[in-house]
């Protein structure tokens, strides 16, 4: 990705982040603090793009911010906290883009919403490869995300996807396809029942397992493209390949093509 | 993963690597050199498990080897070369395990071979999470794998998979399934034609695109499990979930269940 595109992306994002941060703090002091945290996150993104998550250093971010590291720790406690802020920031940006793309398609067009979700994930990942890698790539050695803060932002895409599939099922528009009806073993059925209860879903076991596969497969295809697994020239028509994949994955999930009978 | 399992895995692997390295060198001096390179790779694996690929340091490996860094550079030129050795080593171990698993199933049992391949990838990934992350996780900032050395080892799994699917097609046992026949656009058809020519395949466009999706989806499911995307307790019956996924993916690829008519 050309550096000016990275720069432009970062600038646009930081504006949004600063605006969001500035809308809450009440006093000038709180505003200044929110602005400094936003600056640290912005620099953190740049370091992420240059060095990767594993080599992220709060001390180096402080240097770029022009302050001594003891000063930066007043705003962001440690490297783990910076990673957490970057995770939440990236998950929410991805979640916002997915929600906007899905929301632009009529609610009853389940197939259209599924495709819009998939394309939004891919487009964000191609535009933000290092942030995508932070979310969906190799775990960062020594770092464990605090579930109570990251699970909400981190489950936005799967919740949007499962919402589409559950809506389609309730509308009588979701049915397993293909030549196989793999059995759902007892342990898996237990996991799926818990998920169904937690999210108030109606979609039955086999279709919920298929939805899970459509979810991991979507990210599998995006990761292979973004992480360079296709090699430099094996697939040149990547958008066409992805469109084919999305159509097959909609079928895996049990969604008929728009207009088709179930 | 318990540390003793990591240790045991590393020891077994290093024995194999040392044996392979020792079978080629002729002179005592060449043997000593091969042994030192094998030691460096073994230590590199340990550092990979502890610090991740992005933070891998040849200097730190030299320290653990008990030599000054100027000495280590006589065996492994630089950090990039160490990463390349670790990539080739891991790709080949994965390739060997996949080949062994596939080879243990009769050639005409295409469905059984597909499932054996998928299980072998998952088992290796769960046993070797940091090496799996090196191969299929986030790109290492600043490192570019030398294609002329890594493409061979790096394509062993996809070549094994495509061999199974092409064999099934030639035996009249491969057919697209599901309710959709997504069009293969012109650019994608061009890419697929090149792949078909390069590997001497007979399998037509739609099925080759579906095989590609089965490949990326297999790794998508494994990556989500190994990289912790399922969370600590959402899916407890992970082997059952994976078995369900493999059955659906065989269907995606166009393989009928063993014994079923196409």
Burial class (CB in 10 A: 0-12, 13-18, 19+), A160: buried
Name the nearest CA neighbour of B210 among B160, B244, B251: B251
Tens digits of pLDDT across chain A (262 residues): 343 443 444 444 444 455 455 456 789 999 999 999 999 999 999 999 988 888 899 999 999 999 888 889 999 999 999 999 999 999 999 999 999 999 999 999 999 999 999 999 999 999 999 999 999 999 998 899 999 999 999 999 999 999 999 999 999 999 988 888 899 999 999 999 999 999 999 999 999 999 999 999 999 999 999 999 998 889 999 999 999 999 999 999 999 887 666 5
Cα-atom radius of gyration of chain B, to the nearest Å?
21
Name the nearest CA neighbour of A250 among A156, A112, A121: A112
State whether the Cα torsion B239-B242-B247-B248 is positive or negative.
positive
Structural contact between residues A29 and A37, judged by C-beta atoms closer than 8 angstroms: no
Burial class (CB in 10 A: 0-12, 13-18, 19+), A80: middle
For residues B56-82, one letter each, b for 16 or more C-beta atoms within 10 angstroms of the residue's C-beta and e for the rest, the string is: bebebbbeebebeeeebeebbeebbeb
Per residue, the 3-state secondary structure of chain B, as one string, reads CCHHHHHHHHHHHHHHHHHHHHHCCCCHHHHHHHHHHHHHHHHHHHHHHHHCHHHCCHHHHHHHHCCCHHHHCCCCCCHHHHHHHHHHHHHHHHHHHHHHHHHCCCCCCHHHHHHHHHHHHHHHHHHCHHHHHHHHCCCCCCCCCCHHHHHHHHCHHHHHHHHHHHHHHHCCCCCCCCCCCCCCCHHHHHHHHHHHHHHCCCCCHHHHHHHHHHHHHHHHHHHHHHCCCCCCCCCCCHHHHHHHHHHHHHHHHCCCCCCCCC
In the structure encoding, which two tokens stand for residue A4, read together? 């000016």
* pLDDT value, residue B23: 58
Q: Which of A205-209, A226-230, B51-55, B220-224 has the lowest mean pLDDT?
A: B51-55
Which residues from A are below 8 Å from B257, CB to CB? 179-180
Q: Which of A61-65, B10-14, B141-145 has the lowest mean pLDDT?
A: B10-14
Which residues from A are below 8 Å from B1, CB to CB? none
The better pLDDT of the pair B6, B60 is held by: B60
Is residue B149 within 8 angstroms of chain A, CB to CB? no
Structural contact between residues A237 and A143, judged by C-beta atoms closer than 8 angstroms: no
At B204, give phi and psi (nearest 5°): -75, 175
In the structure encoding, which two tokens stand for residue A164, read together? 């589409």
Name the nearest CA neighbour of A252 among A136, A174, A196: A174
> Which residue shows structure tokens 């910076």?
A82
Domains in chain A (CATH in brackets) are 2-77 (no CATH), 86-253 (1.10.357.10)
For the stretch B169-204, pLDDT in tens is 999 999 988 888 899 999 999 999 999 999 999 999
* pLDDT value, residue B51: 87
Name the nearest CA neighbour of B178 among A95, A113, A82, A179: A179
Q: What percent of chain B has pLDDT over 70?
A: 89
In the structure encoding, which two tokens stand for residue B31, read together? 């043997």
In the structure encoding, which two tokens stand for residue B172, read together? 């009249």
What gap in Å lies between CA B188 and CA B205, rounded to an integer?
A: 9
* pLDDT value, residue B17: 53
Which residues from B are below 8 Å from A235, CB to CB? 188, 191, 212
Q: List the Cα angle B248/B250/B252 in 5-degree steps.
A: 70
What gap in Å lies between CA B236 and CA B75, rounded to an integer?
A: 45
* pLDDT value, residue A6: 39
For residues B219-236, one letter each, b for 16 or more C-beta atoms within 10 angstroms of the residue's C-beta and e for the rest, the string is: bbbbbbbbbebbeeeebe
* pLDDT value, residue B54: 83
CB neighbours of A154 closer than 8 A, spacing ≥ 6? A87, A91, A135, A145
Task: Tell me, rounded to whole angstroms, the distance of Cα A232 from its chain centroid.
Answer: 25
Q: List the Cα angle A12/A96/B214 in 5-degree steps.
A: 110
At B107, give phi and psi (nearest 5°): -60, -35
Q: What mean pLDDT value characterizes chain B?
A: 90
CB atoms < 10 A from the CB of A125, how many?
A: 21
What gap in Å lies between CA B254 and CA B208, rounded to an integer?
A: 10
Which residues from B are below 8 Å from A241, CB to CB? 188, 191, 209, 212
Kindly indicate the confidence band of residue B259, based on its pLDDT and cuts at 50, 70 and 90: low
- Cβ contact (<8 Å) for B187 and A151? no
Q: Collapsing DSSP states into helix, strand and coil, what is residue A261?
A: coil
* pLDDT value, residue A17: 53
CB atoms < 10 A from the CB of A103, how many?
A: 12
| Closest residue on chain B to A184 (Cα) | B244
* pLDDT value, residue A15: 47
Query: Please, which residues 226-255 of chain A have a Cβ atom closer than 8 Å to chain B?
Result: 227-229, 231-232, 234-237, 240-241, 243-245, 247-252
Name the nearest CA neighbour of A180 among B84, B91, B177: B177
CB atoms < 10 A from the CB of A91, how many?
A: 22
* pLDDT value, residue A2: 40
Provide the shortest C-alpha distance from residue A258 to chain B (in Å): 11
CA A92 to each of CA A79, A256, B157: distance values in angstroms, whole numbers, following the listed order = 20, 30, 35
Q: CB-CB: which of A134, A185, A234 is closest to B240?
A: A185
**What value does the mean pLDDT take over residues B1-10?**
40
Q: What percent of chain B has pLDDT over 90?
A: 77
Which residues from B are below 8 Å from A237, CB to CB? 185-188, 190-191
* pLDDT value, residue B181: 83
Q: Collapsing DSSP states into helix, strand and coil, what is residue A145?
A: coil
**DSSP character string of A81-144:** HHHHHHHHHHHHHHHHHHHHHHHTS-TT-HHHHHHHHHHHHHHHHHH-HHHHHHHHSSPPTT--
């Amino acid at each position: 990705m050309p550096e000016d595109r990275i720069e432009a992306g970062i600038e646009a994002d930081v504006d949004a982040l600063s605006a969001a941060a500035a809308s809450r703090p009440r006093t000038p002091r709180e505003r200044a603090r929110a602005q400094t945290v936003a600056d640290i996150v912005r620099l953190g993104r740049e370091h992420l793009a240059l060095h990767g998550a594993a080599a992220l250093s709060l001390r180096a971010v402080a240097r770029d911010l022009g302050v001594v590291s003891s000063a930066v720790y007043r705003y962001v406690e440690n490297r783990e906290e910076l990673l957490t802020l970057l995770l939440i920031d990236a998950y929410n940006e991805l979640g916002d883009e997915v929600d906007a793309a899905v929301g632009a398609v009529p609610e009853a067009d389940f197939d259209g919403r599924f495709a819009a979700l998939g394309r939004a994930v891919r487009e964000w990942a191609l535009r933000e490869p290092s942030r995508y890698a932070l979310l969906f790539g190799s775990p960062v050695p020594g770092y464990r995300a605090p579930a109570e803060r990251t699970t909400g932002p981190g489950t936005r895409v799967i919740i949007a996807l499962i919402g589409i599939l559950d809506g389609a099922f309730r509308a009588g528009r979701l049915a397993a396809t293909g030549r196989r009806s793999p059995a759902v073993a007892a342990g898996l059925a237990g996991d799926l029942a818990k998920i169904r209860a937690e999210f108030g879903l109606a979609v039955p076991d086999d279709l919920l397992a298929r939805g899970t596969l459509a979810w991991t497969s979507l990210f599998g295809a995006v990761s292979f493209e973004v992480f360079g697994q296709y090699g430099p020239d094996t697939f040149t028509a990547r958008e066409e390949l992805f469109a084919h994949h999305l159509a097959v994955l909609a079928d895996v999930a049990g969604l008929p093509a728009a207009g088709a009978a179930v």
